[in-house]
Amino acid sequence: MDNSRANPHNRGEDGLPHREPPECTHPEARRHVFEDAELGHKVDRATFAKRQVALREALLAAQVELGTRKDLAVAVLINGVEAGGKSESVAALTTWLDARFVEVNAYDAPTDEEREHAPMWRYWRILPPKGRIAIFFGNWYTQPIVERVMGKGKGRDAAFERSLEEITRFERMLAAENVLLVKAWFHLAKKTQAKRLRALEKDPDTVWRVTKDDWKRFKHYDEFRAISERAIRRTSQAEAPWTIVDGSDEEYRTLVLGETLLSAMRARLDRPTDRRAAKPATRAPKVDEKTILTQLDLTQTITDAKYERRLAKAQASLARLTRHPRFRERSLVVVFEGNDAAGKGGTIRRVTTAVDLRLLRVVPIAAPSDEERARPYLWRFWRQLPRHGRMTIFDRSWYGRVLVERVEGFAAEADWRRAYGEINDFEQELTRHGAIVVKFWLAISKEEQLKRFKEREKVAFKQFKITDEDWRNRKKWEDYAAAVCDMVERTSTAIAPWVLVEANDKKFARVKVLETLAERLKAELGHE
Interval 223-244: pLDDT, tens: 999 999 999 999 999 999 999 9
Residue type, 316: A
Q: Residue 371: pLDDT above 60?
A: yes
Q: What is the C-alpha to C-alpha distance for residues 157 and 165, in angstroms, rounded to an integer?
A: 13
Mean pLDDT of 93-98: 95
- 498-526 mean pLDDT: 97
Q: Average pLDDT in the 144-150 region? A: 95
Query: Could you give phi then psi for residue 442, rounded to 5 degrees?
Result: -90, 115
393-425 pLDDT per residue, tens:
999 999 999 999 999 999 999 999 999 999 999
pLDDT above 80: residue 176: yes
* Higher per-residue confidence, 453 vs 262: 262
Tell me how far apart the alpha carbons of residues 187 and 51 are, in angstroms, rounded to a whole number: 23
Q: What does the DSSP assignment read for 297-320? A: -TT----HHHHHHHHHHHHHHHHH
Distance CA 337, CA 335 (A): 7
Q: Select the more confidently predicted residue: 467 or 247.
A: 247
Best CA proximity match to 76, nearest among 151, 35, 136, 34: 136
Q: Does residue 29 carry a pLDDT above 50?
A: no
pTM: 0.87
pLDDT band with cut points at 50, 70 and 90 for residue 470? confident
Q: What is the pLDDT of residue 31?
A: 63
Cβ-based neighbours of 215, under 8 Å, separated by 6 or more: 197
Whether 269 contacts 66, CB under 8 Å = yes
**What is the maximum alpha-carbon separation in the chain?**
88
Name the burial class of residue 290, with classes exposed (0-12), middle (13-18) and buried (19+) by CB atoms within 10 angstroms of its CB. exposed
For the chain, helix (H) and strand (E) counts, in that order, are 21, 10
Distance of CA 21 to the CA centre of its chain: 36
Reported confidence tier of residue 133, pLDDT bands at 50, 70, 90: very high
Mean pLDDT of 343-357: 96
Is 235 within 8 Å of 168 (Cβ atoms)? yes
pLDDT of residue 22: 40
Residue-averaged pLDDT of the chain: 90
Q: Is the pLDDT of residue 480 over 90?
A: yes
> Helix, strand, coil % (nearest 5) of the chain?
55, 15, 35
- Domains of the chain, each with CATH number or no CATH: 30-269 (3.40.50.300), 304-525 (3.40.50.300)
- 45 Cβ neighbours under 8 A, 6+ residues apart: 251
The 8-class DSSP code of residue 106 comes to E
State the pairing for strand pair 498-502/435-443: parallel
Number of Cβ within 10 Å of residue 299's Cβ equals 10
Average pLDDT over every residue of 265-287: 76
Q: What is the mean pLDDT of residues 303-319?
A: 97
Q: What is the pLDDT of residue 274?
A: 59
Mean pLDDT of 71-92: 95
Quote the CA–CA distance of 453 and 451 in Å, as a whole number. Answer: 6
Asked if residue 12 has pLDDT above 50, the reply is no
Residue 7 has pLDDT above 50, yes or no: no
pLDDT value of residue 108: 85
